[in-house]
A = this chain, B = another copy of it.
Amino acid sequence: MSEPQWLTADEQQAWRSFLRVQGLLPLALNRGLQASGSDLSLSDFGVLVMLSEAPGRRMRVLELARALQWEKSRLSHQLRRMAERGLVSRSNCSEDKRGAFIEITADGLAAVEAAAPPHVATVRANFFDALDEQDVADLARICAAVTKQIEQDCGEPCE
């Protein structure tokens, strides 16, 4: 371990290219949402999509955190801001009084439904329009492998 195993030229190129995409894409997507007249950020959108797809249109906070792969405190702050704006609401969990349910409101549902079509168009314009079927399959394979790797590498330390 005294001599680190540096990245090969190919790996380095792939890595820097990936970092670039990672930086550019959230910018483009957030701007796409704003440009379409939506008041939702990419984060707002992600939360609302999850809630809108959940049975009963509500989820436990921790369940939501795991689905989004977010830290608890980040989600907690996000939910407070969204609740203040009327996009979600809280209700107590009768089974486990420590916990809370988060429910999407009618306003939240309307907002995500209005934002979705232009957002999908932005995702296409900035991402999938550049890719063919093979690319999509490769990407899914790669991302799944990396996710698995990170989650097992983190093991206990994470969360």
Interface bracket on A: 35 or more
Prevailing SS type, chain A contact patch: helix
Say whether A54 faces chain B, with CB atoms less than 8 Å apart.
no
A143-B11 in contact (CB<8A): no
Encode A119-131 as 1/0 by CB contact (under 8 A) with B.
0110111111111
A28 contact from B17, B19, B143, B153, Cβ within 8 A? B153
| A100 CB, nearest partner CB in chain B, Å | 23
Contact flag A143-B14 (CB < 8 Å), given A23-B69, A121-B4, A149-B127:
yes
B157-A130 in contact (CB<8A): no
Interface centre among A11, A31, A140, A142 (most CB of B within 10 A): A142
Say whether A98 faces chain B, with CB atoms less than 8 Å apart.
no
A17 contact from B6, B118, B147, Cβ within 8 A? B147
Q: How far is the CA of A6 from the CA of B149 in the complex (A)?
A: 30
Contact flag A142-B138 (CB < 8 Å), given A5-B120, A24-B147:
yes
Interface residues of A (CB under 8 A from B): 1, 4-7, 10-11, 13-15, 17-26, 28, 31, 46, 68-70, 116-118, 120-121, 123-131, 133, 135-151, 153-154, 157-158
